[in-house]
Amino acid sequence: MNEFEARLALFANIEGGHTFWSNQITELGALVVHEKLLKRVYDQIKFEKLIANLQATKVSELLGSLEKTEPKFLTPESSEWPTALNDLQAIPIGLVVKGDISSLSDRSLAIVGTRNPTPYGVRIAGDFAAGFIDREWSIVSGGAYGIDSAAHKGALIAEGRTIAVLAAGIDVAYPAGNARLFAEISENGALVSEVLPGAHAIPSRFLARNRIIAALSQATLVVEAAFRSGSLRTARDAAELMRPVMAIPGPINAPTSEGCHRLIGERAAEIVTSVSDAIELVSAL
């Protein structure tokens, strides 16, 4: 087994965002960590399930499943690895990517928000996406319904590149209604996942993918978000990485704007009301 194969085996068995294992692999290398696990150097009671799963893992089958879906498995050792991800506390063990891998290193803006937006939010997300595309930025979002979809579509309509960071395998259309959108995204941008093809979305994977959205982007824009929205997690992740966070204001009595107003009120985000406002804020990047 080589370093690449060890990474793939660990990737298949360790959930994304696990700081301990990420740090161990970064410090020691995947092959060393893999061997130490199989030799039960780590706490064999605490990691009993992980060790058993690794023992049962056949790397040849993993490579075969990747070949069937035609993506590429990127590792931090890959020349095409987006180095912005190395700023994370839990650097991904790897990424499965379908599409134009070079787009992961584009200057990009993350646009995130609620899955249940108002027509105002949909329009704003699309307009901001198109505005940044016109200025040769790419758009990153999470592929979900609502603001995410509006941002991706706005970028595509403007004939730009957009990246969808998914919480499921890249061959799993989740949500199902976005299957066509994902196909369009992969043609000129990229689909990115921190799980193997065939893996289904679970709640923890949405939180883990949010940090990747934040890290791939030079700045994050929250369009509409409820008071306790997952989009706020993306904004917090971006702030921890010292990346600019912006928020769109809305009606003071609109639940879909409570999250944005919260970020602005806590000075966790800069208020922006136009594409030119946002461009000026991030122009020094």
Over residues 103-139, the pLDDT tens digits come to: 999 999 999 999 999 999 999 999 999 999 999 999 9
Domain match, 58 and 110 both? no
Both 233 and 160 in a single domain? yes
Q: Tell me how many domains the chain contains.
A: 2
Do 65 and 9 share a domain, yes or no? Answer: yes
- How far apart CA 227 and CA 96 sit, in angstroms, is 32
pLDDT at 114: 96
Kindly state the average pLDDT of the residues 164-172. Answer: 95
Q: What integer pLDDT is reported at residue 285 of this predicted model? A: 60
Q: Are residues 107 and 57 in the same domain?
A: no
Q: Which of 28, 49, 51 is nearest to 39 (CA)?
A: 51
pLDDT at 271: 96
Same domain membership, residue 259 and residue 196:
yes
**Domain ends where: 69, 90, 122?**
69
If asked whether residues 174 and 248 sit together in one domain, one would say yes
Cα–Cα dist 8/13, whole Å? 9
Mean residue pLDDT across the chain: 94
Q: Is residue 148 part of a domain?
A: yes
Q: State which of 69, 92, 111 marks the end of a domain.
A: 69
pLDDT at 44: 84
Give the predicted TM-score (pTM) of the model.
Answer: 0.94
Answer yes or no: is 46 within a domain.
yes
User: How many Å apart are CA 198 and CA 60, to the nearest integer?
Assistant: 16
181-233 pLDDT tens trace: 999 999 989 999 999 999 999 999 999 999 999 999 999 999 999 988 889 99
Same structural domain, 34 and 117: no
First to last CA, the chain: 41
Q: Are residues 117 and 258 in the same domain?
A: yes
- Would the pLDDT of 177 be above 70? yes
* pLDDT of 153 higher than 90: yes
CATH of the domain at 276: 3.40.50.450
Q: What percent of the chain is predicted at pLDDT more than 70? A: 99
Per-residue pLDDT at 229 = 85
Over residues 43-69, the pLDDT tens digits come to 988 999 999 999 999 999 998 878 777
Residue 90 domain flag: no
179 within some domain? yes
Of 155, 150, 146, 151, the residue nearest 188 (C-alpha)? 155
Residue 280: partners with Cβ closer than 8 Å, 6 or more residues away: none
Q: Are residues 143 and 264 in the same domain?
A: yes
Mind giving me the DSSP string for the chain? --HHHHHHHHHHHS-TT-HHHHHHHHHH-HHHHHHHHHTT-S-TTTTHHHHHHHHH--HHHHHHHHHHH--EEE-TTSTT--GGGGGSSS--S-EEEEE-GGGGGS-EEEEE--SS--HHHHHHHHHHHHHHHHTT-EEEE---TTHHHHHHHHHHHTT--EEEEESS-TTS-SSGGGHHHHHHHHHHSEEEESS-TTPPP-HHHHHHHHHHHHHH-SEEEE-S--TT-HHHHHHHHHHHTT--EEE----TT-GGGHHHHHHHHTTSSEE--SHHHHHHHHTT-
Residues 270 and 193 in one domain: yes
Q: Are residues 152 and 256 in the same domain?
A: yes
CA 40 to chain centre: 32
79-105 confidence digits (pLDDT tens): 999 999 999 999 999 999 999 999 999
Rounded Cα gap, residues 240 and 37, in angstroms: 31
pLDDT of residue 1: 87
Domain span including residue 211: 101-282
Residues 230 and 159 reside in one and the same domain: yes
pLDDT for residue 223: 97
Domain boundary (69, 91, 119) is at: 69
164, 141 Cβ separation under 8 angstroms: yes
246-250 average pLDDT score: 97
pLDDT at 284: 64
> Letter for the amino acid at 37?
L
